[in-house]
Amino acid sequence: MRLRAPAVDVSAESPFENDKLGRRPAVEALTNILKSTTEPLVVSVSAPWGYGKSTFLRMLQAHLTEQGFKIVNFNAWESDYIDNPFVALLGDTEEQLNALRGGRNRSLQTKIEKAKKYGGKIIKAAIPAAVRIGTAGVINLDGVTEAAISDATEKFTQEQIDAYSEAKKSITSFRKEVHKIAQSLYGQDSQLPLVFIIDELDRCRPTHAVRLLEIVKHFFSIDRVAFVVALDPDQLGHSVRTLYGQGMDVDGYLKRFFDLELNLPNPSTDDFLRAQFTRFGLDDFFASRMRHEETRYDKDRLESMFKHLFSALDLSFRERERAFTLLSLAIRATAQNQYLHPLMLGCLILLKIKNTSLYKNFISGRAGAKEVMEYFSAQPESTEFVQSNYGYVLEAELIGAQTPHHERDDLYNKFVQESQDESLSPDARHRAEIIAHVAREKRFNRIYSNIKSVASKIDLVAGEG
């Protein structure tokens, strides 16, 4: 079992071997688009945080490489500490292009050096002239005459004009050299583009993220050069508003950067659950429990609850992955000889994530099973689970968590009587029958004494006392 989900293994030979979320069709479609264009192209791969964008990009890179594409991979987050992202992008590009040809291609190396030279001129031209004036001492106004200020202003203006002209020339020359590089990477008959893949833009400072996009669009608008940029549109929107104000038309602004927008489809809940049980190493844990009658259905019950309540409670992808992280950590924090209640554990984790107040009230005894089940029942898509056998088992465990040992027999007899009461509906009698059955299981006696321990593990791994 793992503390946290590792990165999905993407092999160069079989990129889709571990494609649990069904990303292959999107990868192949984007590959076909990249094959068919020779014009400048910037593609956004959009999805919220945690929706598998990085895995998608690694599958794309492996698949593109398999198809003969040349790739430059750029992790934007790793250069976030650098003031100018253009410097980092140039550095990574040089290193990876040399690696593509083993550093022995003199013609390619010459083109790279020229591109670097023009890139350096662009960077130099972008340095504010005011900074250079300041270093000359003019910003210290003590004893500075009006004439001196006038001269400095005139010089500043001319420097800005010169810098603009130099930048325009350098950008044109830079584009030409990068285009030559893209051509030289392939054979005479190939028209494939050089593809830059940019990941982790979501994690960058607003200035870094937006400047990088501006650099891509303005400096790399080059035939046979394509960019694939993974991003969370909401997070990037926050970055844009931070820089340009809350009234900024974010959608209109961002559309100018991208020629094509690819939205990763949400994975089905079933696919997601299977992937997470495997990624966190939980399959083996639950398989070992199938040897015992009491625990053989633990995984089925937990999976059914997560399947229905993830949707009913409208958990984001990030919250769903957090639920599995907390589940895995809580299980690891439990001694092997200590009984675990996975269904109860999963329920409390969902409450912890979506309704902390109800979670705390239940643990303290200020709220009971009735309030928890009513909360779940109030969600539009929860009925199927709440009124299922597994839903009734969960309700029984919630009741057991607050029923002292000396009250167990009375509780059991109460639900036996309800299960035989002809005045109740068949569904109500069935519910009572299931709860009575669970109340007779050996593990039911452990719930009351274990509930505080279960909650303490959740709070521990969630970083709360």
- Residues with Cβ < 8 Å from 66, sequence gap 6 or more? 12, 15
Quickly state the pLDDT bin for 156 (edges 50, 70, 90).
low
Q: Residue 12 is encoded by which pair of tokens? A: 């160069």
In this predicted structure, what is the pLDDT of residue 131? 39
* CA-CA-CA-CA torsion sign (47, 48, 54, 55): negative
CB 418 within 8 A of CB 434: no
Fill in the DSSP letter of residue 379. Answer: S
CB 234 within 8 A of CB 48: yes
In this predicted structure, what is the pLDDT of residue 132? 39
Bridge partners (DSSP) of residue 262 are 45
CB 20 within 8 A of CB 5: no
Query: Would the pLDDT of 194 be above 50?
Result: yes
Single-letter amino acid, residue 252 = G
Domain ranges of the chain: 24-263, 269-461
In this predicted structure, what is the pLDDT of residue 141? 45
Q: Residue 296 is encoded by which pair of tokens? A: 């053989």
CB 336 within 8 A of CB 317: no
CB 351 within 8 A of CB 372: yes
Average pLDDT taken over every residue of the chain: 85
- Of the listed ranges 124-128, 136-140, 204-208, 430-434, the one predicted with least confidence: 136-140
Query: Would the pLDDT of 4 be above 80?
Result: no
In this predicted structure, what is the pLDDT of residue 29? 96
- Domain 24-263 in CATH 3.40.50? The answer is yes
Task: Show the CA angle centred on residue 356, arms to residues 352 and 358, nearest 5°.
Answer: 105
Query: Would the pLDDT of 322 be above 80?
Result: yes
Quickly state the pLDDT bin for 362 (edges 50, 70, 90).
very high
Query: Would the pLDDT of 146 be above 80?
Result: no
CB 462 within 8 A of CB 352: yes
**Average of per-residue pLDDT across 256-285:** 87
Enter the pTM of the model.
0.74
Measure the CA–CA gap between 465 and 326, rounded to whole angstroms: 15
Tens-place pLDDT, residues 85-120:
999 999 999 999 988 766 567 788 888 899 989 888
Helices (H), 245-388: 250-255, 269-279, 282-288, 298-312, 317-332, 342-354, 356-364, 369-377, 383-386
CA dist 1 → 28, 272, 304, 331, 366 (Å)? 33, 18, 21, 9, 34
Quickly state the pLDDT bin for 375 (edges 50, 70, 90).
very high
In this predicted structure, what is the pLDDT of residue 138? 40
Q: Which of 112, 108, 113, 151 shows the shortest CA–CA distance to 133?
A: 151
- Residues with Cβ < 8 Å from 87, sequence gap 6 or more? 79, 123
Query: Would the pLDDT of 287 be above 90?
Result: no
Q: Residue 42 is encoded by which pair of tokens? A: 């910037």
